[in-house]
Amino acid sequence: MMTTSLTAAPMRPDPSNRAGDGPGDATGEALDLLEALGGLRASMRTIEVEEAASLQLIHERFRPSALNLLHFIAFHRHAHPGLAPALRQRGLCSFEGCDGHLLASLEAVIHALECLDGRRPGGADQPRPAGLPPLRGQAVLQSHCDRLFGSMTAEGAAGIMVTLPAEAGDHPALIAELVEAGMTIARINCAHDDPAVWSRLVEGVAQARRSTGRPCRIAMDLGGPRLRTGSLDPKPAVIRVRPVRDRLGRRLRPARLLAVPQDAPPATLEEGVVLLPVTGRGWQRLRPGDRLEGRDASGRRRRFTVRALRSEGVLLHCRQSCHLTSGLVFRQLGGDRRLEVAALPPVGGSAGCGPAIW
């Protein structure tokens, strides 16, 4: 797209320069305006060249409108905010309401300003630029609107658009009822379903037009890009345990874990007990009352107490909440036994606006 910048001088007329102060003052102001308007005309011509290939892809019937759209983009990208007030001070068109024929209006203003400045004879012919002829923009817009949506009849000034459900393709009578009720545009949401469903809906609208004798346009609403996430990298599993507390936060029961061999999980598990697969040296020889200490996944020091020995493993109590991940080691206080959290299977990744907690 257009990258040329406008280098026109600022258009802030000196308050001391009043009409009639002298021809030199008015001429200097006109020179500033002509420079700014010439820059805008150059930007319009430049964008025509830059987008020439795109223009050739557009049907010749709509090419003048596309060209005018390029002029609109270039004009509003580079127009100085002081241009309109300066033009109004000279009694010239400020381009308000000229979006349908911007280049033609710009050429007309430049021609008038050059005549006022004495650079062009008053009777000189005004050049006719390419694009939409002056005063035809609104008529062309209305023509395209009628062609796309259908002309508004005397029955009302507004059309009625209805989004057709996929089921309507198998029930043509529903579409006919909608047309009889006043539907003038049948919208097909192409972000859903498939071409086979869309074809049935189109045929249903065609049948409804024939059976009712009423016009009904079809709007195919194309689906935009869909943001989807693929498979995310797996994350380490985290075992979270915490004491049971009452509504005031008072501890009623410590957190309970059952340490078991990694390859031999128990068939059943007592309610409120969290399974902890472990490895390590001599942890099976721990006795009730033994204590183990280490740091959990958050880095905080935690202490486990052996509460009981079970046939399937060792029951541990912890008075604080803790988070356990693979490889964490807890060592016996006053002994050489150790307990290591075994390799836990990774869990599916997650995505969110903030860091995942667990």
Residue 131 pLDDT = 52
Least confident of 92-106, 139-153, 211-225, 338-352: 139-153
Strand 273-279 with 239-241, pairing: unpaired
pLDDT at 3 over 50: no
Instruction: Express as a percent the part of the chain with pLDDT over 70.
Output: 79
pLDDT at 282 over 90: no
Least confident of 81-95, 103-117, 124-138, 322-336: 124-138
Q: Find, among 255, 348, 333, 248, the residue nearest to 294 by Cα.
A: 333
- Please compute the mean of the pLDDT values over residues 110-117 and round it to a whole number: 85
**Residues 6 or more apart from 168 whose CB is under 8 A from it?**
174, 175, 201, 204
What confidence tens digit (pLDDT) does each residue in 251-278 have?
Answer: 999 999 999 988 877 767 788 899 999 9
Confidence of residue 8 (pLDDT cuts 50, 70, 90): very low
Confidence of residue 220 (pLDDT cuts 50, 70, 90): very high
State how far the Cα of 31 lies from the Cα of 27, in Å rounded to an integer. Answer: 6
What confidence tens digit (pLDDT) does each residue in 42-83 have?
Answer: 999 999 999 999 999 999 888 888 998 999 999 999 888 888
Question: Please, what is the average pLDDT of the chain?
Answer: 81
- Please compute the mean of the pLDDT values over residues 88-115 and round it to a whole number: 86
Residue 124 pLDDT = 53
- Please compute the mean of the pLDDT values over residues 156-175 and round it to a whole number: 88
Residue 89 pLDDT = 87
Token pair of 234 as six digits: 């797996």
- As a dihedral over the C-alpha atoms of residue 261, residue 266, residue 271, residue 277, rounded to 10 degrees, the angle is 20
**All domains in the chain, ordered by first residue:** 23-141 (no CATH), 150-221 (3.30.750), 239-341 (no CATH)
State how far the Cα of 192 lies from the Cα of 214, in Å rounded to an integer. Answer: 27
Residues in the chain: 358
pTM: 0.43
Q: What is the DSSP string of 34-92?
A: HHHHHHHHHHHHHHHHHTHHHHHTS-TTTHHHHHHHHHHHHHHHH--TTHHHHHHHTT-
pLDDT at 292 over 80: yes
What confidence tens digit (pLDDT) does each residue in 300-324 have?
Answer: 999 999 999 988 889 999 999 999 9
State how far the Cα of 223 lies from the Cα of 140, in Å rounded to an integer. Answer: 28
- Please compute the mean of the pLDDT values over residues 214-227 and round it to a whole number: 86
The answer to whether 33 touches 86, Cβ cutoff 8 Å, is yes
Q: Find, among 196, 190, 194, 180, the residue nearest to 218 by Cα.
A: 190
Q: What is the DSSP string of 159-203?
A: --EEEPPGGGGG-HHHHHHHHHTT--EEEEETTSS-HHHHHHHHH
Least confident of 29-33, 111-115, 336-340: 29-33
SS3 347: strand
What confidence tens digit (pLDDT) does each residue in 232-250 have?
Answer: 778 889 999 999 999 998 9
Q: Find, among 293, 289, 283, the residue nearest to 342 by Cα.
A: 283
Residue 143 pLDDT = 78
